[in-house]
Amino acid sequence: MEVGAVWTMANLKYKPGEPMLSEKALKSAGPCCQALHAYIMKQSGNGAIDIPAKVAASYFHTEDDLKLAVGFNDLYDLYNLDSLDMSLLRCWTLKMMKQAEEMHCNVGFLDPQIFSATLVQYKSKDVITAIKRAMNDDYVVGAYNTGSHWVLVIIAMKWNVVWYLDSAKSFPLRKFKDVVTIVNWAYSEHMETKMKKIQKPNKNQT
């Protein structure tokens, strides 16, 4: 399975320093979109190409703090409802983590960059490890990159149920085969580890 060119190529319609929307469309976009657009125009004029951010290692369970860059060209796609870049999905995931924490919801979120068709194919062990770690929570949520569009995957641990929420009804079910397999592997290893802990004899028992 290969990642589609849409995920690796910049939108040729984007021109640095030029408005991302028409004046009429920008007015109807709302104050937050207008403020962000003004910021992008200003920074682009100063030579910037993205919005840099630093994410603590604890969020995505990485060894070091994560440097995240949201490209202006990717925001152009967002403004024009074209495509949804990985960096934007990572920002969305971080936002959901924060909301779940504030609402005291026991939800584990997967890093979209790890939970993707490319890594499932080439680094399946890393994906399994990430899913297993999140399975310590009641629910696991991940935006899965199929290589051509995004699918939301929700794992309900207490019910042993997985939901694959896909807006593209014409998308071939066979392309879910890899992610279904990887989730099943992660669940099997998680349950095996859990059962070993339960069956392990207590040294304090006489």
Pairwise CA distance, residues 99 & 121, whole Å: 31
Q: Is there a single domain that holds both residue 72 and residue 108? A: no
Q: Does a structural domain hold residue 143?
A: yes
For residues 40, 41, 43 and 44, what is the CA-based torsion angle, rounded to 10 degrees?
A: 100
Query: What percent of the chain is predicted at pLDDT more than 70?
Result: 89
Mean pLDDT confidence for 4-33: 83
Mean pLDDT confidence for 49-67: 88
Strand order of the β-sheet with 139-145 is 107-109, 139-145, 150-156, 161-165
What DSSP element (H or E) covers 97? Answer: helix 86-102
What is the distance of C-alpha 71 from the center of its chain?
Answer: 16
pLDDT value of residue 171 = 65
Tell me which of 9-13, 27-31, 73-77, 107-111 is least confident: 9-13
Q: Does a structural domain hold residue 51?
A: yes
What is the pTM assigned to this prediction?
A: 0.81
* Sequence-ordered list of residues with C-beta below 8 angstroms from that of 64, at least 6 positions apart, any chain: 57
SS3 182: helix
Q: What Rg, from alpha-carbon coordinates, does the chain have?
A: 20
pLDDT value of residue 198 = 80
| Per-residue pLDDT tens over the stretch 87-121 | 999 999 999 999 999 999 999 999 999 998 889 88
Task: Decide if pLDDT at 38 tops 60.
Answer: yes
Q: Is there a single domain that holds both residue 78 and residue 123? A: no
Q: Is there a single domain that holds both residue 24 and residue 71? A: yes
At 73, the pLDDT band (50, 70, 90 cuts) reads very high
Number of domains, the chain: 2
Task: Domain of residue 179: give its range.
Answer: 102-206
Residue whose C-alpha is closest to residue 133's, from 110, 161, 105: 110
Task: Decide if pLDDT at 1 tops 50.
Answer: no
At 45, the pLDDT band (50, 70, 90 cuts) reads very high
pLDDT value of residue 128 = 94
Q: Is there a single domain that holds both residue 37 and residue 126? A: no
Q: Does a structural domain hold residue 92?
A: no
What is the distance of C-alpha 113 from the center of its chain?
Answer: 6
Q: Higher-confidence residue: 144 or 199?
A: 144
Task: Decide if pLDDT at 60 tops 50.
Answer: yes
At 147, the pLDDT band (50, 70, 90 cuts) reads confident
Mean pLDDT confidence for 82-86: 86
Pairwise CA distance, residues 149 & 8, whole Å: 13
Q: Does a structural domain hold residue 118?
A: yes
